Amino acid sequence: MVKNIAVIRGDGIGPEIVEQALNVLDKVSKLYGHTFNYTDVDMGGCAIDKYGDPLPEAELKKCVESDSVLLGAVGGDKWNGVPGNMRPEKGLLRLRAGMGVYSNNRPAKIWSQLADASPLKKSIVDEGIDFIIVRELIGGIYFGEHKTEGDTAIDVLTYSEAEIERIGRIGFETARKRRGKLCSVEKSNVLDSSRLWKKVMHRLADEYPDVELSDMLVDNCAMQIVKNPSQFDVIVTENMFGDILSDEASMITGSIGMIPSSSLGKTSCGLYEPIHGSAPDIAGKDVANPIGTILSAAMMLRFSFDMPKEADAVENAVSAYLDAGYRTADIMSEGMTLVGCKKCGELIIGNIRKD
C-alpha cells in the first residue's frame, strides 16, 4: 500500500522527535511491504523565518492533498514578539481549519511500567487510568473574533447546533467502541453556548441508547480527573475546555511526552501529533522523549490507513522498550537506564516485529 504523508517537523524539539517517528514508519513499511512517501511542510516559527507567514497557502495545500499529516511541535520564545495574527500557533489553527479536522482525540492512559511516575496516590492509580478526551477543534473561542479596543480586549465564543452535533456524534461513537460511557463537559450554569451544548447532547443521546450519557461542569471535571480518573471512559467537550483538560489528564499518566493525539474530520486524512510543546530549552540536546510522536504515528496507521496490525506492532514495541527499563529524562526513575531521543527511537525500532 502506498501512502503520502505530509511531514511538519516544526520548531524546537520537533525535528528530533519527528525523525524518530519517521524511522519507525520506515521499519513498518519494510516489514509489511508498504510505501510511505514523505513531503516536508514548513509551518510555525520556521515558516515565519522563511516566508514571513506561519503557514503559507502552498504549504497548507501539501497537507490537504496528502493522505495524512505528521506534526512535531511549533512555537517558541524566539517568536514572542511577532504580531498575534502571525504567531506560530496561528499556523496550527489555520492547518486544522484548512484540513477540516474538527475532532481531536487525546487518550489518557497510564502505561503499567510508568505507574510510579504518576503524581497521584498509588491507590488512585491502581483503580486504572484509561479514558479519551474528544475535543472540538475548529470552533469556539479560539476561532471567534479577537480584538482589543483601547484598554478592553474581546474574545468571542460561538457554537452552532451543527458544530456541537458533529463532535457529539464522535463522542458517542467513540464511547460505543469502548466501555459505553460518555461524559459531556460544559459550563451550562454560566454560558449560553454550554446550555446549547447540553441540549444538543441530550437530543443525540436518544439515538445512542447503548451509551450512558452524563453531564459534568468543567470545573468539577478538572477536580474529578485527579480525584477519581477511573470513572471516565470518554469525555466530550468544547475547544478551550478540551485543551486544558487534556493537558491535565496527560500529566496524571506520568509524562506529557508519552501522549499522542489524532485530529479527524469527514475524511480519513488526519492530523497526528504529540500533545506537548516545542520545548526550545532542550532542543538539539538529544534528550526529548519521542514516544508521543511515535505513538501518534501508530494512531495514523490505525485510524487513517486502516493498518491495525502495524499499529499494534509499534505500540507493542514501545511497551517492550519500557519493559526493558529504558527511560528518557522526563520519565527517568531509580533503577532505570537513561537514554536520549535518538537511542530511544533506535531501541523501539529494534522491538518492532511482524506477527
Q: Hey, do 1-101+260-355 and 119-252 end up sharing a CATH topology, with the first three levels equal? A: yes
- Of 142, 159, 208, 326, the catalytic one is 142
- Of 40, 126, 219, 281, the catalytic one is 219
Helix 291-303 and helix 14-32: axis angle, to 10°?
A: 40
Place of cell 500557533: 89
pLDDT at 256 over 90: no
SS3 category, 339: coil
pLDDT at 76 over 80: yes
Task: Indicate the domain borders of the chain.
Answer: 1-101+260-355, 119-252
Cβ atoms of 326 and 289 closer than 8 Å: no
* Percent share of the chain, pLDDT over 70: 100
Q: Can you name the residues that pair with 217 across neighbouring β-strands?
A: 186
Domain 119-252 class in CATH: alpha beta
- Of 187, 208, 272, 321, the catalytic one is 187
SS3 category, 200: helix
Level-2 CATH architecture, domain 1-101+260-355: 3-Layer(aba) Sandwich (3.40)
Q: 68 is written with which cell numbers?
A: 495524512
Q: Per-residue pLDDT tens for 221-236?
A: 999 999 999 999 999 9
CB atoms within 10 A of CB 219: 13
- How large is the average pLDDT for residues 274-298? 95
Is 219 in the active site?
A: yes
Q: Per-residue pLDDT tens for 297-347?
A: 999 999 899 999 999 999 999 999 999 999 999 989 889 999 999 999 999
pLDDT at 194 over 90: yes
Is 30 in the active site?
A: no
Whether the CA torsion 113, 273, 4, 308 is positive or negative: it is positive
Among 15, 2, 17, smallest CA distance to 295 is for 17
C-alpha 29: how far from chain center: 23
Q: How far apart are CA 262 and CA 277, in angstroms?
A: 15
Is 142 in the active site?
A: yes
